[in-house]
């Protein structure tokens, strides 16, 4: 879901950066509200960002192909509001080190991955609001959070490709392309949901504190 340089129109690039700047500022406001000294949490967030960076290189086999993980849902679940700056950093490093994604599309890509990550955080947060402590509730919420994060990200990417590329397609082709891209991501969303649910159950047993990284 990394849009490369060169395919997006100027207004979309500017809009993407403006939106990413606004969400980063709001994320920082929320982080400062949640943590007395936000610098204290940076080494931990950085290590987890690096861990996500490494884990995103894992390929899950679905014979005859394999898919690589997006992990925006898991990042939202574990990092909360920190997931948005963490995603910006991860995307910047991917663009610089491996030429995945792009620099001009960094703002757009951050929104495509970061907004679903924050949504995933709030979906997973339902467990605290409802007071549910059962592993099954955690697993179901983790699955739902990650599934929705991937589908929303794919939908945002599809809409951007269709409406923010310099060429124009007819209405029927646009509709078909959005539907096709969204359907193509459904298996990935299911796999990512199952993967996140297993990781959350693992962490619940081994280190539950890792699921409380939002400081709440």
Q: Which of residues 100-139 bind another protein (CB under 8 A)?
A: 100-104
State the nearest-atom distance from the C-beta of 125 to another protein, in Å.
19
Q: Is 47 among the residues that bind another protein (CB under 8 A)? A: yes
Burial level of 66, CB count in 10 A (0-12/13-18/19+)?
Answer: exposed
Comparing CB distances to another protein, the nearer of 137 and 174 is 174
Q: Look-up: residue for tokens 């400062």?
A: 32
CA distances from 104 to 93, 100, 121, 139, 195 (A): 14, 12, 27, 37, 31
80 torsion bin: left (phi>0), alpha (psi -120 to 50), beta (else): left
Q: Is 67 among the residues that bind another protein (CB under 8 A)? A: no
Residue 59 is inside which H or E element, if any?
strand 59-62
Among the candidate windows 57-65, 116-124, 130-138, 144-152, which touches another protein by CB under 8 A? 57-65
Comparing CB distances to another protein, the nearer of 65 and 131 is 65
Q: Is 72 among the residues that bind another protein (CB under 8 A)? A: no
State the nearest-atom distance from the C-beta of 65 to another protein, in Å.
12
CA distances from 202 to 93, 134, 195, 209 (A): 28, 13, 11, 12
Among the candidate windows 45-53, 117-125, 132-140, 144-152, which touches another protein by CB under 8 A? 45-53
Q: How far apart are CA 114 and CA 100, in angstroms?
A: 17
Burial level of 59, CB count in 10 A (0-12/13-18/19+)?
Answer: exposed
Comparing CB distances to another protein, the nearer of 3 and 119 is 3
Choose which of 15, 34, 50, 137 interacts with another protein (CB under 8 A).
Answer: 50
Q: Is 99 among the residues that bind another protein (CB under 8 A)? A: yes
Q: Is 78 among the residues that bind another protein (CB under 8 A)? A: yes
Comparing CB distances to another protein, the nearer of 116 and 146 is 146
């Amino acid at each position: 879901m990394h849009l490369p340089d060169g395919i997006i129109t100027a207004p979309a690039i500017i809009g993407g950066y403006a939106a990413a700047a606004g969400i980063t500022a709001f994320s920082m406001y929320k982080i400062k509200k949640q943590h007395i000294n936000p610098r204290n949490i940076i080494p931990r967030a950085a290590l987890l960002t690096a861990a996500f960076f490494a884990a995103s290189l894992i390929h899950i086999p679905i014979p005859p192909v394999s898919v690589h993980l997006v992990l925006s849902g898991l990042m939202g679940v574990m990092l909360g509001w920190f997931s948005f700056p963490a995603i910006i950093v991860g995307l910047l490093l991917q663009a610089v080190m491996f030429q995945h994604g792009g620099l001009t599309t960094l703002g757009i890509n951050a929104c495509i991955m970061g907004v679903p990550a924050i949504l995933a955080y709030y979906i997973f947060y339902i467990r605290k609001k409802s007071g549910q402590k059962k592993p099954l509730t955690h697993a179901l919420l983790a699955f739902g959070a990650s599934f929705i994060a991937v589908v929303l990200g794919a939908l945002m990417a599809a809409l951007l490709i269709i409406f923010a590329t310099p060429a124009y397609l007819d209405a029927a082709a646009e509709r078909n392309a959005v539907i096709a891209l969204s359907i193509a991501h459904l298996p990935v969303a299911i796999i990512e949901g199952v993967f996140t649910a297993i990781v959350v159950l693992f962490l619940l047993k081994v280190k539950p504190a890792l699921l409380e990284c939002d400081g709440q």
